[in-house]
């Protein structure tokens, strides 16, 4: 069929089931946008900055479990999105970045043309599974199809493709490819049986659930295994919501930074770690002592990287946990439930002590939870994320999004936009600091134009308070470059056409949230709040 390179991209996305893309048009990528204008099956969300487009695609992917796709132009348009791809890489998110390039005869020639960048493709090598420049029209559709398959296969990772302007504009007979089904690695049955035997003998088993549970969609299987073992479930920050926080077996994220719960985990007789690399952020930089370890992950490079595994299972979390449950049912499990009850009691004690010691911070967490539906989606960044990662109750999968490893400021609002587009019938709240909000506050206009009715809670301490804290610890009274001149956030929101609410005290948050959510429009709540870190 006769079509342009731009049409070949869009038709391949459609064949792959992609129904939403984010991006910004530019002079070199207009053939893609012309094709999108004639493809009503795909909704395009026009963003205000390429980094925001990448974060929004990531938020869409984390919420929906489907590929998050975004489009940029050449040179600065492409490199503006590098940080978003770094975030997606760090958190194993299936994001596809489609960029344009200069005309083929001008690429890397350094002839002084607009948006020129030498080795634009190679720039993205360190943050993508695939990075290619597609310089033949016949290869456009196959390349997009292959990338869609690759980002969803095994451990999800982002991909980058760029296309010269002349290839996007060229017209010829093109065969549109459909992406192949993603590869879902199967575990070794013998290793699954060995793990089941170890777990079946355990009297003090513990499960640690990471982001891989969400990427695989393994929540039902995880809960079955946990209930069969009567094993308490600890969660990493990106793993929050792997089981409901009010389930009797849930410890959630409270354990990080609390020596009693960390010691409880260390004292178990076997640990089943699922979909986590056991990174520094979850193990106090690997000072956490682990019991005998059964490590299940889809990525073989993760296993034995940070801790040696007694049983190493490489496989998809959902498939592997399903097989593990069947093996457990064949052999029986021996834990009597008292071990889990002890863990749950400790977790509740930690919450009570934190409320007594930090009533304002914990009051904000409680107000946030009280105002939201059970399945509301919460996105985070900056200092408040350390509080929510530990103490905010998460009840449903893929409803808590955090930039945990890369630690990117400015993610909360665009993550929320992507989440709201993916789940338009659910409440979506973005909570972060005033400094972080200023990174991407222009995306308020994106949210309004897209009808993504997110509520932003800006924790306003007029600066980078985490940096103030570290400067005090290291240099005493020498605080430098951490105080900020910030706008009237409520007035700023109103200038965009959003609802702006300015609070005088943190205890007003719950009522303000209820008002903002009931308005069913984009809203910004300016919350005066200065936080410390929640660990001891």
| Cβ-proximal residues to 444 (8 Å cutoff; 6+ apart), any chain | 413, 456, 492, 493, 496, 498, 522, 524
Q: Identify the pLDDT of residue 400.
A: 98
Pick the CATH number of 2-173 from 3.60.60.10, 2.40.50.100, 3.40.50.1000, 3.40.50.970: 3.40.50.970
| Cβ-proximal residues to 437 (8 Å cutoff; 6+ apart), any chain | 410, 412, 413, 456, 458, 489
- Sign of the torsion angle spanned by Cα atoms 20, 25, 29, 31: positive
* CB neighbour burial string for 319-356, b if at least 16 within 10 angstroms, e if fewer: bbbbbbbebbeeeebebeeebbeebbebbeebbeebee
Q: Tell me the C-alpha to C-alpha distance, in Å, between residue 176 and each of 32, 85, 87, 125, 400.
A: 15, 27, 31, 27, 36
Q: Identify the pLDDT of residue 332.
A: 65
For tokens 């260390």, name the residue: 266
Arithmetic mean of pLDDT, 447-475: 95
More confident position, 254 or 11: 11
**Half-sphere exposure for 98 (CA within 13 Å, toward CB):** 34
Arithmetic mean of pLDDT, 92-111: 96
What percent of the chain stands above pLDDT 70? Answer: 99
Arithmetic mean of pLDDT, 211-226: 97
Pairing of strands 130-133, 95-101: unpaired
The pLDDT-based confidence of 535 (bands split at 50, 70, 90) is low
pLDDT in tens, 134-187: 999 999 999 999 999 999 999 999 999 999 999 999 999 999 999 999 999 999
Q: pTM for the complete prediction?
A: 0.97
Q: How many other C-beta atoms lie within 10 A of the C-beta of residue 501?
A: 24
Hey, where are the domains in the chain?
2-173, 189-344, 358-528
CA–CA dist 432, 459 (Å, integer): 6
CA–CA dist 467, 409 (Å, integer): 13
CB 440 within 8 A of CB 49: yes
| Cβ-proximal residues to 322 (8 Å cutoff; 6+ apart), any chain | 221
CB 130 within 8 A of CB 99: no
pLDDT in tens, 67-88: 999 999 999 999 999 999 999 9
Query: In terms of C-beta density within 10 A (0-12 exposed, 13-18 middle, 19 or more buried), how is residue 474 classed?
Result: exposed
Q: Identify the pLDDT of residue 454.
A: 98
What is the assigned CATH class of domain 189-344? Answer: alpha beta
User: Does this chain's domain 2-173 share its CATH topology with 189-344?
Assistant: yes
Q: Of 132, 58, 46, 123, nearest to 89 (Cα)?
A: 58
Q: Is the pLDDT of residue 339 over 80?
A: yes
CA–CA dist 318, 325 (Å, integer): 11
Average pLDDT, the chain: 96
Q: How far apart are the first and last CA of the chain?
A: 64
60-64, 337-341, 404-408: segment of lowest average pLDDT: 337-341
Q: Is the pLDDT of residue 315 over 70?
A: yes
CA–CA dist 166, 137 (Å, integer): 9
Q: Is the pLDDT of residue 534 over 90?
A: no
For tokens 């959630």, name the residue: 252
- Sign of the torsion angle spanned by Cα atoms 263, 265, 271, 277: negative
Q: Identify the pLDDT of residue 333.
A: 60
Q: Identify the pLDDT of residue 282.
A: 87
Query: In terms of C-beta density within 10 A (0-12 exposed, 13-18 middle, 19 or more buried), how is residue 292 classed?
Result: middle
The pLDDT-based confidence of 337 (bands split at 50, 70, 90) is confident
Q: Identify the pLDDT of residue 284.
A: 87
CB 167 within 8 A of CB 105: no
pLDDT in tens, 267-302: 999 999 999 999 998 898 899 999 999 999 999 999
Residue 291, token pair as written in the block: 């019991």
Q: Of 138, 6, 161, 146, nearest to 70 (Cα)?
A: 161
Tell me, which fold does domain 358-528 have in CATH? Rossmann fold (3.40.50)
The pLDDT-based confidence of 313 (bands split at 50, 70, 90) is very high
Give the angle subtended at the CA of 482 by the CAs of 476 and 484, to the nearest 5°.
140
Q: How many other C-beta atoms lie within 10 A of the C-beta of residue 23?
A: 28
What percent of the chain stands above pLDDT 90? Answer: 94
């Amino acid at each position: 069929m006769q079509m342009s390179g731009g049409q070949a991209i869009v038709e391949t996305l459609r064949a792959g089931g992609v129904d939403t893309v984010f991006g910004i048009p530019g002079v070199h990528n207009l053939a893609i946008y012309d094709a999108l204008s004639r493809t009503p099956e795909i909704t395009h969300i026009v963003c205000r900055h390429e980094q925001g487009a990448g974060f929004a695609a990531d938020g869409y992917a984390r919420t929906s479990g489907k590929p998050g796709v975004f489009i940029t132009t050449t040179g600065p348009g492409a490199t503006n999105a590098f940080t978003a791809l770094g975030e997606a890489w760090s958190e194993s998110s299936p994001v596809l970045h489609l960029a344009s390039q200069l005309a083929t005869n001008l690429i890397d020639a350094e002839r002084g043309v607009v948006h020129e960048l030498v080795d634009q493709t190679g720039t993205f090598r360190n943050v993508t599974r695939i990075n290619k420049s597609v310089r033949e029209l016949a290869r456009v559709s196959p390349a997009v199809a292959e990338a869609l398959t690759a980002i969803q296969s095994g451990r999800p990772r982002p991909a980058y493709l760029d296309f010269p302007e002349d290839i996007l504009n060229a017209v010829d007979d093109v065969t549109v490819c459909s992406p192949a089904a993603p590869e879902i690695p199967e575990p070794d049955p013998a290793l699954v049986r060995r793990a089941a035997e170890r777990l079946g003998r355990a009297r003090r088993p513990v499960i640690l659930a990471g982001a891989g549970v969400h990427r695989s969609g393994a929540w039902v299987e995880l809960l079955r295994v946990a209930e069969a073992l009567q094993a308490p479930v600890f969660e990493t920050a990106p793993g929050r919501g792997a089981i409901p926080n009010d389930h009797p077996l849930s410890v959630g994220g409270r354990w990080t930074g609390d020596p009693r719960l960390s010691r409880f985990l260390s004292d178990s007789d076997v640990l089943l770690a699922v979909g986590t690399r056991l990174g520094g952020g979850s193990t106090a930089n690997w000072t956490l002592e682990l019991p005998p370890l059964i490590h299940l992950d889809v990525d073989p490079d993760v296993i034995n990287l940070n801790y040696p595994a007694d049983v190493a299972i490489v496989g998809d979390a959902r498939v592997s946990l399903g097989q593990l449950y069947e093996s457990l049912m064949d052999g029986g499990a021996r834990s009597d439930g008292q071990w889990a009850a002890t863990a749950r009691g400790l977790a509740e004690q930690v919450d009570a002590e934190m409320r007594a010691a930090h009533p304002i911070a914990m009051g904000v967490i409680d107000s946030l939870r009280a105002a939201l539906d059970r399945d509301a989606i919460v996105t985070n960044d900056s200092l408040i994320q350390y509080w929510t990662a530990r103490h905010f109750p998460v009840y449903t999968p893929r409803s808590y999004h955090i930039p945990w490893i890369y630690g990117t400021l400015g993610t909360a609002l665009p993550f929320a936009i992507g989440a709201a587009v993916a789940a338009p019938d659910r409440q979506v709240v973005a909570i972060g600091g005033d400094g972080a909000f200023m990174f991407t506050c222009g995306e308020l206009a994106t949210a309004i134009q897209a009808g993504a009715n997110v509520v932003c809670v800006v924790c306003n301490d007029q600066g980078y308070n985490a940096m103030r804290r570290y400067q005090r610890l290291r240099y005493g009274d020498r605080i430098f470059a951490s105080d900020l001149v910030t706008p009237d956030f409520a007035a700023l929101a109103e200038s965009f056409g959003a609802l702006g609410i300015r609070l005088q005290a943190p205890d007003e948050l719950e009522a303000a949230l209820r008002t903002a959510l009931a308005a069913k429009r984009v809203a910004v709540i300016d919350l005066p709040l200065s936080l410390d870190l929640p660990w001891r």
